[in-house]
Structure 1
Amino acid sequence: MSRKQTLWLTVAAVLSVIVAVQVTSAPQSPSRFIAQADIPTVAPGVDVLAGIPEIPARIRSYDYRRDAFGDAWTDDNTAPGGHNGCDTRNDILDRDLVDKTYVAISRCPTAVATGTLRDPYTSDTVPFMRGSQVGAAVQIDHIVPLALAWDLGARSWPEPMRVRFANDPANLLAVEGRANQDKGDKEPALWMPPNAAFGCQYAMQYLAVLRGYGLPVDAPSVPVLRQATGTCPRG
C-alpha cells in the first residue's frame, strides 16, 4: 500500500490511544490529524480499548436499510479535495490509488480514470479502470460496516450523523472487491484482513472509529482486536 494511504490510516489510530474523544451529537472525525509514522505505535501500559463501552454480543436487527445513511456518496466530506464537486467515492479512490490518470465526469473534474491499488486487505496489486464494471475490482469499504454500526446504536442517531458516518474518510478504504464482499458487514470476531501484516492498522482504525462515534465493541471481538493491536510496535 502507498505511504500516503498508510500515513493517513495512522492518524486516528495513534491519537486514539492518547486522547479519549468525547462524543456529542456532532462527533469528532477520527481523521483530522497528520501522523509521522508508517505503523501505529502503542505506549506501554496503554489500554487501546479504554473508553469504548462493551456489549455482550451484537444483536443483529432486520430493519437496517442503506438509505438510512443517506445517498450512497456525498461531496460533504473531509477527504483531501473534499467539497470539490467529486463525491466521497471519487475522493477515496484518488487518496488510495497510485499511478493515476484522470478524467472529468459530471461535476467531478478529477475522477480517477485508471490507477493501481495496493490492497491492504490482501496485499495484492489490483489494476483499476473506470467503466461499466467500475465497482468490481476495487471497492470502497466501510471499516466499521454501516449495518454493523446500525446494530451497535446508529439506528438512534439523527440522519445527518448517519450521513456523516457513511462518508467519513476515517472509516473508508479502497480495497480489493472480493475481499470486501467476503467481509460484508461482519464484526472483527468474524472477519479480519487476510493480510495479517495489516492487522495492527485495521484494528487501531476500527477502534478509533468506534471511539469517535461513541459506538460499543461486541465482547467476542475484544480478544481479536487485542491480539491484532498486540502486533503494533511499542513506543
Structure 2
Amino acid sequence: MLLKQRLKLTYWLKIIIPTIIALLIPMALFLPGLMGLFTSARTNPVFANGLLLYPLSYYLELPATFITNVPGSSFWLTGGYSVLCSMGAIYTLRRFKTYPVLNSILVIGAMMLLSPVFAAIMNGASSPSNRWTFMFTLPMALTVPILLNNLKKMTNRDFYWIIGFFGVAFLSLFYAFNFNFGSKYASMLFIAFAMLVLVYVTRTRPKGLYLIVLLAMFNALTVMQQNRTIDLDPNQSNLLPTKKLKN
C-alpha cells in the first residue's frame, strides 16, 4: 500500500513539476509585455471607455460591413466580406445542426459585435476596438466552399433569406452615405444582384460556377478599389512616400 502511494506521488510530481516549469518559461516575455500594456499611453484606464452599448449609428451601419468596408467606420470595425461570403453564411446558419462548429463560431462572432465590452476584451482589456474581426474572415470564407458544393440543395427559402439580408444591408449602406445613390458603393447593389442570379442559375447549370468565381474576384477587387485607390496617388495617400524614407 505504501509503495503504491509513493508511485502515485512520483507520478504526480513528474507531471506537476514540468507543468510549473512550462508555465514559468514564457513569463519572461509575458510579464514585461503585460506591464508594458498597462503602462502604455494608449491604454484607457476606463474599461471599454465606460460603454455597454455602441451608439445607434454603429448598429445602423453594421449590416453594411458584411458586404463592403465602410470607410471611417466606428470602433475600427472592418468588414468587406464578399457578397458570396454573406450568402454562404446564411446557407450554413440555416443548417445549424449540419455545421455546428462553424455556425457556433459565426453566431458567437456576430454577438461579440453587439457590445463594446467584447471589443475591449479582444483589444487587451482596454478601449473597444473591433480589429479582431480580421480573424472573422476565416470562418466567413469557409462558408463559401460549403455553399458552392451544395448549390443543388439550395431551396427557395434560402433565397428569400438572402434577399432579405441584402435588402437590410443595402439600406444600411445607403444610410452610411446619407442615402446618396450616386455613391461609388452603390455598385455593390449590382454585384449582389448579379451574384444572386448566377447562384440561382448555377443550381441547374454547373458551368456557371466559373462565372461565380470570376464575379467573386471582381467583388474583392471592387472593395479594394473603393477604399484604397487614393494610396496610388501620392497627393492623396496617407501612406509615407518612399522619398521621405530615403531622406
What TM bracket, shorter-length normalisation? Answer: under 0.3
More helix by share: 2
| TM-score of the aligned structures, taking structure 1 as reference length | 0.22
Q: Provide the TM-score with structure 2 as the length reference.
A: 0.21
* Larger relative contact order (CA 8 Å, sep ≥ 6): 1
More strand by proportion, 1 or 2?
1
